[in-house]
Amino acid sequence: MEIKKEQIIIQIQKAKEGSQTAFRFLLNHFWGSVYNYQLKHLQNDNDAEDITIQTFSKAFDRISTFDEKYQFKTWLISISKNVYIDYLRKKSTSITTETTKNQEAEVYAVIDDNPTPEDKIITEQNLAKLLRDIKKLKPKYQEIITLRFFNELSYKEISIQIQEPMSNVKVKLLRAKKLLAAIIERS
């Protein structure tokens, strides 16, 4: 379904007023464009996803500066380019370990099926399936879902614990909820 430019402008206006629904709409609508742009440059799923999260975080923090005369997607891509440049600068000054696709696949293939006492209680309350679905998420999304919904931490507390800006926490949580909903829908 093609989204009209007028609909996007309306959502941008709502986002400028602080509407979470509008932020979610913009994130869902433009995520693929920014992510694919970064994936083309980085050829690494995790790094592309991290830069995309940072891009939306910065964009949502500065949404009030967006001028409707321009294309929103172009604005996002230019922010993404700057985040990518910052990423390259940080990477050149730090020591990193690159992982191969096979190594990543091995990590994701390890699933802990041993139920804890908490899992048994949750099973009685029909929540075991939800936990299995959460375990299908990438570790960074598992962590953010767990901190927010099981540990009931605030955005600020999560931000401190994972040492990321609060805007990154909000974007990651939106993304994690969307991915979890897709997993639940498939199963």
60 Cβ neighbours under 8 A, 6+ residues apart: 15, 23, 26, 167, 170, 171
List of long-range contacts for 4-11, beta carbons under 8 Å, 24+ apart: 8/72, 9/68
pLDDT in tens, 43-81: 889 999 999 999 999 999 999 999 888 899 999 999 999
Kindly indicate whether the domain formed by 111-186 is annotated with CATH number 3.40.190.10: no
Helix (H, G, I), strand (E, B) or coil at 24: helix
Q: Do domains 5-93 and 111-186 have the same CATH topology?
A: no
Cα 77–chain centre separation:
16
* Structural domain 5-93, CATH architecture: Orthogonal Bundle (1.10)
The domain segmentation of the chain, as residue ranges, is 5-93, 111-186
| Average pLDDT over the chain, rounded to an integer | 85
Q: How far is CA 163 from CA 7, 157, 168, in A?
A: 35, 10, 10
Confidence (pTM): 0.65
